[in-house]
Amino acid sequence: MLQNREAEDAISILYVEDEESVRQGYARALGRMTDRLMLAANGEEGLALYKEHRPDIVISDIRMPVMDGIEMLKQIKEINPDAYFIFTTAHNDSRYMLEALEHQVNAYLQKPVSKNILKSKIEKIAAHILQLRHTEEQQIEIERQKIILQKVLDHEKNLLVVSDFTRVYFANRAFLEHFGVSTIEEFNTLCHDLRDLFLPMPGYLHRHLLKGDQSFYELVQQSDETARVVTMMGAGTEPGAYQINISPIELDLQEAYLISLTDITKFNIQKLSTEKKAYHDTLTGLYNRTKFDMIFGTELERVKRYGVQSSLVLLDIDHFKRFNDTYGHLIGDKVLKALAETISKSIRNTDTFARWGGEEFVLLLPETPLDGAIIMVEKLREKVSEIVLEDAEPITASFGITQLFPDDTPQRAFQRADTALYAAKAAGRNCVKTFRDIGEVTESEGVDLCEV
């Protein structure tokens, strides 16, 4: 019998032959190979049986009344292009043979057909069918297990993610919801390095504590268990504290990690509150100048050590003094908060946005070369110009951009950005200016995105 251990694995055969004596003779031999045998006297009967039962293998004569084997083959292939077919014929007609082969017949046997040869052909095809069926069943079971696992982990409150730190391969619902995304692909588009999620706050683990070629996994493992804590922003505006646990796993023959993040913010409220007061602007809730200087210093070190391309942006609200003089300081404060909220919602988790002082803000774009920064900042300029306040006129802002260089100091980088910002103001405001350095940092050319 052409079957595995389970009865449902038996191979079904449709045998189509117009000569009854031949049909009955081969039917006895085929019946010893499978108990799922169907017989038909012509192509029309065979096609009807195929439509009803979808047999695994079709064995058919070519020349038959009512409908010949070739026409039946064509119509069956329209139903199932992968149907397995064996033709038998007493006629040595090359035209029929070529047409049969053209339609991907699996075997073409000359009558009288040796039962042993026919059995051998059927067994080979049957083995292939059963292997495919087993593989499909395995894949279905794997997918079923994945769905079950995903459902179980989606009920887990901890943030769970499988990643090599440059790309996320699996994440539970809690993780995706925390960052305000619906799919892993969407998250990977927004975040290119998982370590950038961890804020560089004193007393917590972050990438700037790494020494030499040390991995983040090694940093966590070498830290005291009570100190394995990171801070992260999410879809909200307040940072949270998370106990981090990392376990190495093998994923498709490459190194990856299962990362679990447990929210312990409520146990760190006092510490986080102290940090916020020290490093956040009280009006806008953004980082203040002191905090930005810390982050900017570590980013310059990355630029120097690893050659990453990052950009610095200074922006200034246009005619802000006029807002205060015309509408009063309360409206001026609304303008500052509206701009801070708008830009905060429009940048990546890895970017750092801070209030520099007065109506001036600063934005750090890690691993973003100048051309990419121009595109991002132009979108931000448009977002700002769409801000509507009932009590005031429309808001616009001017932007100055510079790329960071390995030999930069904070002063030199800010001087270039400030000069670009001044050029944007001079060009009529509500536009973007940038410096492109040629050779020495003192040599540059402007890229003007202002509308004249």
Active-site choice (17, 44, 299, 359): 359
Per-residue b or e along 310-348, where b marks 16 or more CB atoms closer than 10 Å to that residue's CB = bbbbbbbbbbbeebbeebeeebbebbbebbbebbeeebe
Cβ neighbours around 291 below 10 Å, total: 21
Give 247's strand partners: 258
Q: Is the distance from CB of 172 to CB of 187 less than 8 angstroms?
A: no
Contacts 24+ apart (CB under 8 A), 244-251: 244/205, 244/220, 245/220, 246/216, 246/217, 246/220, 246/221, 248/217, 249/162, 251/162, 251/164, 251/169
At how many degrees (to 10) do helices 69-79 and 43-53 cross? 20
Q: Is 359 a catalytic residue?
A: yes
Residue whose structure tokens are 């199932």? 80
- First-to-final CA distance of the chain: 84
What's the half-sphere exposure (Cβ side, CA atoms, 13 Å) at 301? 12
Q: Which residues are catalytic?
A: 359
